Amino acid sequence: MKLLRHGPKGDEKPGLLDPEGRIRDLSGHIADLTSAHLGKETLARLKALDWRTLPAVATAGAPARLAPIVADTGKLICVGLNYSDHAAESGMAVPSEPVLFMKATSAIVGANDAVVLPRDSAKSDWEVELGVVIGTRARYVEESEALDYVAGYCVVNDLSEREYQLERGGQWDKGKGCDTFGPVGPWLVTADEVPDPQNLDLWLEVNGKRYQQGSTRTMVFTVAQLVSYISRFMTLHPGDIISTGTPPGVGLGQKPDPVYLKPGDMMRLGISGLGEQQQTVHAWNEELIDA
């Protein structure tokens, strides 16, 4: 089942993607797609619905906006250097334990929403990543049981301002949490449709050029290991998203010179079975962020 939220900012509605690729509205069954709807019982109830009876969302003209997949994500937890070849291109050692940092929830936007560069940005970069959406509260869970706590998976673009992240002192968060730097979606694919999260292909293009091409098979730490590990440091709540790291091919790692995002660039990225995102990059524009 592919769950989603659609509609303009502030007026989003819950929906699902039907087998024919159309958005069906779920407003008659749930008010919105929130953390309260990610438990196994609610997901089973939604899956049992006959999608043919759900209203199709009109797509004449411009397609419906795809909003962030969960209305009330409490934490966006990211994993750094989780692909050994990406660590190498970044000039950093492969970690012996997962590197964790937080991305501000104010960074979260829809899959195709505008990406707005922060003021004076010089080194903004892209990162396609597998997102793991928590469905059941997890605290000190065993690795063997960790996937039972997962509601589903999604595509994440973990955008990063490298100067802020690496050259301005302190922790990585200041280069990771900029407004619009966390596109998620286009939909939440429930865990029953992803039998092996360690066998997914990831890719990302900028202006039609393929920069990233990888597979979750090469993760240093698996999804199950990450859920278990993170749950030992903080309680994971329904709606929390873990962004599990990126394969090689980021702008920072390009040779002979890094390549960074500029206004007008178009990013397109996706993960097998989880859909695609597409974002246009804009110069700083506060009205665009708030629109």
The string of pLDDT tens digits covering residues 122-176 is 999 999 999 999 999 999 999 999 999 999 999 999 999 999 999 988 788 899 9
pLDDT of residue 257: 96
Please give, one letter per residue, the 3-state secondary structure of the chain.
Answer: CEEEEECCCCCCEEEEECCCCCEEECCCCCCCCCHHHCCHHHHHHHHCCCHHHCCECCCCCCCCCECCCCCCCCCEEEEECCEHHHHHHCCCCCCCCCEEEEECHHHEECCCCCEECCCCCCCEECCEEEEEEECCCECCCCHHHHHHHEEEEEEEECCEEHHHHHCCCCCCHHHHCCCCCEEECCCEEEHHHCCCCCCCEEEEEECCEEEEEEEHHHECCCHHHHHHHHCCCCCECCCCEEECCCCCCCHHHCCCCCCCCCCCCEEEEEECCCEEEEEEEECCCHHHHHC
Shortest CA distance to 4 belongs to which of 71, 69, 72?
69
pLDDT by residue (tens digit) across 93-116?
A: 888 999 999 999 999 999 999 999
pLDDT of residue 63: 66
Q: What is the pTM of this model?
A: 0.96
Q: Is the pLDDT of residue 121 over 80?
A: yes
- What's CA 37's distance to the chain center, in Å? 19
pLDDT > 90: percent of the chain: 89
Q: Is the link from the previous residue into 195 a cis peptide, with omega within 30 of 0? A: no
pLDDT > 70: percent of the chain: 98
CATH 3.90.850.10 is the classification of domain 68-290: yes
Q: Is the link from the previous residue into 186 a cis peptide, with omega within 30 of 0? A: yes
Where in the chain are the domains?
68-290
pLDDT of residue 170: 79
Mean pLDDT calculated for residue range 272-287? 97
Q: Is the pLDDT of residue 242 over 90?
A: yes
- What's CA 68's distance to the chain center, in Å? 9
pLDDT by residue (tens digit) across 51-89?
A: 999 999 865 555 679 999 999 999 999 999 899 878 788
Q: Dig out the tokens for 177 from the structure.
A: 């949490």
